[in-house]
Amino acid sequence: MRVKPRSMSVTSGKGGTGKTTITANLGVALGALDKKVTILDGDIAMANLNIVMGMTKCEINFFDVLLGNASVDQAMYTNYGIKVLPCGFRFEEVHETLSKIKRERVEEVVNEILGQTEILLIDAPAGMAETTLISIAAAREMLPVCNPTYPSLVDVYKTIRVANVLGSWTRGLIVNRTGKAADLLVDEVEQFMNRALGSMPVIADIPEDPKVQEAEREGVPVVVYDPECEASIAINELAKVITGETDLPYVPWEDREIGETAERLIRALTGRRV
Protein backbone atom coordinates (compact mmCIF):
# COMPACT_ATOMS: atom_id res chain seq x y z
CA MET A 1 0.00 0.00 0.00
CA ARG A 2 1.43 3.36 -1.00
CA VAL A 3 1.81 5.97 1.69
CA LYS A 4 0.79 9.60 1.40
CA PRO A 5 4.03 11.50 2.02
CA ARG A 6 4.00 14.69 4.01
CA SER A 7 6.53 17.49 3.51
CA MET A 8 7.26 19.84 6.43
CA SER A 9 9.72 22.68 6.79
CA VAL A 10 10.99 23.36 10.31
CA THR A 11 11.71 27.08 10.51
CA SER A 12 12.56 29.91 12.87
CA GLY A 13 12.62 33.66 12.56
CA LYS A 14 16.15 33.97 13.90
CA GLY A 15 19.14 31.81 14.68
CA GLY A 16 19.78 30.22 18.03
CA THR A 17 16.29 28.91 18.71
CA GLY A 18 17.35 25.26 18.60
CA LYS A 19 15.52 24.60 15.32
CA THR A 20 18.05 22.14 13.89
CA THR A 21 18.15 20.24 17.16
CA ILE A 22 14.34 20.02 17.13
CA THR A 23 14.37 18.84 13.50
CA ALA A 24 16.92 16.09 14.09
CA ASN A 25 15.30 14.80 17.27
CA LEU A 26 11.78 15.01 15.88
CA GLY A 27 12.92 12.97 12.90
CA VAL A 28 14.40 10.29 15.15
CA ALA A 29 11.27 10.30 17.35
CA LEU A 30 9.04 9.88 14.29
CA GLY A 31 11.23 7.03 13.12
CA ALA A 32 10.77 5.35 16.50
CA LEU A 33 7.03 5.44 15.80
CA ASP A 34 7.68 3.26 12.74
CA LYS A 35 7.43 6.13 10.26
CA LYS A 36 9.69 6.28 7.23
CA VAL A 37 11.39 9.63 7.75
CA THR A 38 13.78 11.61 5.57
CA ILE A 39 15.42 14.84 6.72
CA LEU A 40 16.70 17.24 4.08
CA ASP A 41 19.11 19.94 5.19
CA GLY A 42 17.63 23.02 3.54
CA ASP A 43 20.33 25.38 4.77
CA ILE A 44 22.30 25.25 1.55
CA ALA A 45 24.72 27.94 2.72
CA MET A 46 25.39 27.09 6.38
CA ALA A 47 24.42 23.44 6.80
CA ASN A 48 24.92 21.78 10.18
CA LEU A 49 22.24 19.10 10.46
CA ASN A 50 24.77 16.34 9.94
CA ILE A 51 26.73 17.56 12.97
CA VAL A 52 23.68 17.34 15.24
CA MET A 53 23.05 13.86 13.86
CA GLY A 54 26.64 12.83 14.56
CA MET A 55 27.43 12.41 10.85
CA THR A 56 30.82 13.95 10.11
CA LYS A 57 31.77 12.10 6.91
CA CYS A 58 29.25 13.01 4.22
CA GLU A 59 31.34 13.67 1.13
CA ILE A 60 28.38 13.45 -1.29
CA ASN A 61 25.43 15.75 -0.57
CA PHE A 62 22.32 17.46 -1.96
CA PHE A 63 24.38 19.81 -4.13
CA ASP A 64 25.80 16.85 -6.01
CA VAL A 65 22.32 15.44 -6.55
CA LEU A 66 20.89 18.70 -7.92
CA LEU A 67 23.81 19.06 -10.30
CA GLY A 68 23.30 15.51 -11.56
CA ASN A 69 26.69 14.40 -10.31
CA ALA A 70 25.24 11.86 -7.87
CA SER A 71 22.08 9.90 -7.27
CA VAL A 72 19.74 10.41 -4.34
CA ASP A 73 20.83 7.09 -2.90
CA GLN A 74 24.48 8.12 -3.04
CA ALA A 75 23.78 11.32 -1.07
CA MET A 76 21.37 9.69 1.38
CA TYR A 77 22.72 8.53 4.73
CA THR A 78 20.95 6.44 7.36
CA ASN A 79 21.40 7.11 11.05
CA TYR A 80 19.23 6.27 14.06
CA GLY A 81 16.68 4.60 11.83
CA ILE A 82 15.99 7.57 9.55
CA LYS A 83 17.40 8.88 6.29
CA VAL A 84 19.32 12.15 6.07
CA LEU A 85 20.14 14.13 2.94
CA PRO A 86 22.81 16.67 4.02
CA CYS A 87 23.97 19.77 2.19
CA GLY A 88 27.57 19.97 3.28
CA PHE A 89 29.65 23.11 3.80
CA ARG A 90 30.47 24.18 0.24
CA PHE A 91 28.61 27.48 0.52
CA GLU A 92 30.73 29.03 -2.25
CA GLU A 93 28.92 26.71 -4.69
CA VAL A 94 25.41 27.93 -3.85
CA HIS A 95 25.06 30.43 -6.71
CA GLU A 96 26.54 28.03 -9.27
CA THR A 97 24.21 25.24 -8.16
CA LEU A 98 21.05 27.35 -8.27
CA SER A 99 21.87 28.70 -11.72
CA LYS A 100 22.11 25.19 -13.13
CA ILE A 101 18.88 23.79 -11.68
CA LYS A 102 16.78 21.94 -14.25
CA ARG A 103 13.11 21.15 -13.85
CA GLU A 104 13.54 17.56 -14.96
CA ARG A 105 16.23 16.94 -12.35
CA VAL A 106 14.16 18.48 -9.54
CA GLU A 107 11.15 16.36 -10.47
CA GLU A 108 13.31 13.26 -10.56
CA VAL A 109 14.82 13.99 -7.14
CA VAL A 110 11.48 14.83 -5.52
CA ASN A 111 9.89 11.75 -7.05
CA GLU A 112 12.59 9.54 -5.62
CA ILE A 113 12.61 11.12 -2.13
CA LEU A 114 8.85 11.17 -1.66
CA GLY A 115 8.48 7.75 -3.21
CA GLN A 116 10.47 6.20 -0.36
CA THR A 117 9.35 8.23 2.65
CA GLU A 118 6.26 9.02 4.67
CA ILE A 119 7.45 12.25 6.26
CA LEU A 120 9.97 14.63 4.70
CA LEU A 121 11.36 17.15 7.19
CA ILE A 122 13.23 20.13 5.71
CA ASP A 123 15.56 21.88 8.13
CA ALA A 124 15.20 25.47 6.94
CA PRO A 125 17.84 28.15 7.54
CA ALA A 126 16.97 30.85 10.05
CA GLY A 127 15.84 34.31 9.06
CA MET A 128 14.39 35.54 5.79
CA ALA A 129 17.20 34.75 3.38
CA GLU A 130 16.56 33.34 -0.10
CA THR A 131 17.41 29.86 1.10
CA THR A 132 14.77 30.14 3.83
CA LEU A 133 12.09 30.93 1.27
CA ILE A 134 13.24 27.95 -0.78
CA SER A 135 12.74 25.62 2.17
CA ILE A 136 9.35 27.05 3.12
CA ALA A 137 8.07 27.07 -0.44
CA ALA A 138 9.12 23.48 -1.03
CA ALA A 139 7.01 22.09 1.82
CA ARG A 140 3.26 21.87 2.25
CA GLU A 141 3.43 22.28 6.03
CA MET A 142 5.54 24.45 8.29
CA LEU A 143 6.57 23.85 11.89
CA PRO A 144 7.87 27.17 13.26
CA VAL A 145 10.18 27.13 16.29
CA CYS A 146 10.64 30.05 18.67
CA ASN A 147 11.96 30.77 22.14
CA PRO A 148 9.73 32.26 24.87
CA THR A 149 10.91 35.84 24.32
CA TYR A 150 9.23 38.77 22.59
CA PRO A 151 11.97 39.26 19.97
CA SER A 152 11.76 35.59 19.02
CA LEU A 153 7.96 35.77 18.82
CA VAL A 154 8.05 38.80 16.55
CA ASP A 155 10.56 37.11 14.24
CA VAL A 156 8.62 33.85 14.01
CA TYR A 157 5.41 35.81 13.40
CA LYS A 158 7.03 37.29 10.28
CA THR A 159 8.08 33.82 9.15
CA ILE A 160 4.53 32.51 9.51
CA ARG A 161 3.16 35.41 7.49
CA VAL A 162 5.64 34.68 4.71
CA ALA A 163 4.66 31.01 4.78
CA ASN A 164 1.02 32.01 4.34
CA VAL A 165 1.95 33.99 1.23
CA LEU A 166 3.91 31.03 -0.14
CA GLY A 167 0.98 28.69 0.46
CA SER A 168 2.58 26.59 3.20
CA TRP A 169 0.20 25.66 6.02
CA THR A 170 1.45 26.33 9.55
CA ARG A 171 0.41 23.40 11.71
CA GLY A 172 1.19 25.08 15.04
CA LEU A 173 4.00 26.66 17.05
CA ILE A 174 6.84 24.87 18.83
CA VAL A 175 8.19 26.81 21.81
CA ASN A 176 11.70 25.69 22.70
CA ARG A 177 13.65 26.24 25.96
CA THR A 178 10.69 26.91 28.21
CA GLY A 179 10.97 26.97 31.99
CA LYS A 180 11.34 29.17 35.05
CA ALA A 181 14.10 31.30 33.51
CA ALA A 182 12.07 32.08 30.38
CA ASP A 183 10.80 35.60 29.73
CA LEU A 184 7.29 34.39 28.87
CA LEU A 185 5.00 31.58 29.91
CA VAL A 186 3.71 29.24 27.21
CA ASP A 187 0.18 30.62 27.73
CA GLU A 188 1.50 34.13 27.13
CA VAL A 189 3.19 32.99 23.92
CA GLU A 190 -0.05 31.47 22.66
CA GLN A 191 -2.04 34.57 23.59
CA PHE A 192 0.42 36.77 21.70
CA MET A 193 0.23 34.61 18.58
CA ASN A 194 -3.55 34.38 18.73
CA ARG A 195 -3.81 38.17 18.88
CA ALA A 196 -1.35 38.56 16.02
CA LEU A 197 -2.66 35.81 13.74
CA GLY A 198 -6.19 35.08 14.92
CA SER A 199 -5.34 31.50 15.87
CA MET A 200 -2.01 29.76 16.31
CA PRO A 201 -1.87 26.92 18.85
CA VAL A 202 1.28 25.88 20.65
CA ILE A 203 1.58 22.21 19.76
CA ALA A 204 4.72 21.59 21.83
CA ASP A 205 6.78 23.30 24.50
CA ILE A 206 10.25 21.86 24.92
CA PRO A 207 11.76 22.66 28.34
CA GLU A 208 15.28 23.95 28.84
CA ASP A 209 17.24 20.81 29.60
CA PRO A 210 21.01 20.43 30.21
CA LYS A 211 20.83 16.96 28.66
CA VAL A 212 20.36 18.57 25.24
CA GLN A 213 23.76 20.24 25.35
CA GLU A 214 25.35 17.08 26.74
CA ALA A 215 23.92 15.12 23.83
CA GLU A 216 25.11 17.66 21.26
CA ARG A 217 28.64 17.53 22.64
CA GLU A 218 28.54 13.78 22.12
CA GLY A 219 27.06 14.13 18.62
CA VAL A 220 23.98 12.12 19.59
CA PRO A 221 20.30 13.20 19.38
CA VAL A 222 19.01 13.76 22.90
CA VAL A 223 16.05 11.40 22.37
CA VAL A 224 18.68 8.66 21.98
CA TYR A 225 21.19 10.00 24.51
CA ASP A 226 18.64 10.22 27.34
CA PRO A 227 15.12 9.14 26.33
CA GLU A 228 13.78 9.89 29.82
CA CYS A 229 14.92 13.49 30.15
CA GLU A 230 12.34 16.28 29.99
CA ALA A 231 13.30 17.49 26.53
CA SER A 232 13.17 13.97 25.07
CA ILE A 233 9.74 13.32 26.57
CA ALA A 234 8.41 16.57 25.09
CA ILE A 235 9.85 15.84 21.64
CA ASN A 236 8.42 12.33 21.66
CA GLU A 237 5.03 13.80 22.54
CA LEU A 238 5.37 16.20 19.61
CA ALA A 239 6.04 13.27 17.31
CA LYS A 240 2.80 11.68 18.50
CA VAL A 241 0.94 14.91 17.75
CA ILE A 242 2.34 14.92 14.22
CA THR A 243 1.40 11.31 13.55
CA GLY A 244 -1.93 11.46 15.39
CA GLU A 245 -3.50 14.10 13.14
CA THR A 246 -6.05 12.51 10.81
CA ASP A 247 -7.96 15.39 9.22
CA LEU A 248 -5.22 16.67 6.93
CA PRO A 249 -5.50 18.50 3.58
CA TYR A 250 -3.70 15.84 1.60
CA VAL A 251 -4.36 13.81 -1.52
CA PRO A 252 -2.51 10.63 -2.55
CA TRP A 253 1.06 11.26 -3.62
CA GLU A 254 0.59 9.52 -6.94
CA ASP A 255 -2.08 12.07 -7.85
CA ARG A 256 -0.52 15.33 -6.76
CA GLU A 257 2.15 15.45 -4.07
CA ILE A 258 5.24 14.81 -6.19
CA GLY A 259 4.28 17.24 -8.94
CA GLU A 260 3.25 19.94 -6.49
CA THR A 261 6.39 19.68 -4.38
CA ALA A 262 8.59 19.68 -7.49
CA GLU A 263 6.86 22.78 -8.81
CA ARG A 264 7.29 24.52 -5.45
CA LEU A 265 11.00 23.71 -5.44
CA ILE A 266 11.53 24.85 -9.02
CA ARG A 267 9.66 28.10 -8.46
CA ALA A 268 11.53 28.84 -5.24
CA LEU A 269 14.97 27.86 -6.52
CA THR A 270 14.84 29.51 -9.92
CA GLY A 271 12.06 32.06 -9.78
CA ARG A 272 10.45 30.35 -12.79
CA ARG A 273 6.82 29.35 -12.88
CA VAL A 274 6.13 25.94 -14.36
The two beta strands, 6-11 and 141-146, are: parallel
Confidence (pLDDT) at 254: 40
For residue 14, being part of any structural domain is answered with yes
For residue 231, being part of any structural domain is answered with yes
For residue 117, being part of any structural domain is answered with yes
Q: Which of 81, 22, 80 is nearest to 49 (CA)?
A: 22
For residue 274, being part of any structural domain is answered with no
For residue 203, being part of any structural domain is answered with yes
Confidence (pLDDT) at 251: 37
| CATH number for 214 | 3.40.50.300
Q: What is the pLDDT of residues 181-232, one digit of tens each?
A: 899 999 999 999 999 998 889 999 999 999 999 999 999 999 999 999 999 9
CA distance 164 to 161: 5
Confidence (pLDDT) at 58: 82
Confidence (pLDDT) at 255: 41
> Would the pLDDT of 247 be above 70?
no
Number of structural domains found in the chain: 1
For residue 268, being part of any structural domain is answered with no
CA distance 209 to 146: 16
Indicate the average pLDDT of the chain. 82
For residue 191, being part of any structural domain is answered with yes
Segments forming the whole domain that contains residue 57: 6-255
CA distance 64 to 54: 21
CA distance 72 to 264: 19
Q: What is the pLDDT of residues 111-160, one digit of tens each?
A: 788 888 999 998 887 765 555 556 666 778 899 999 999 999 999 999 99
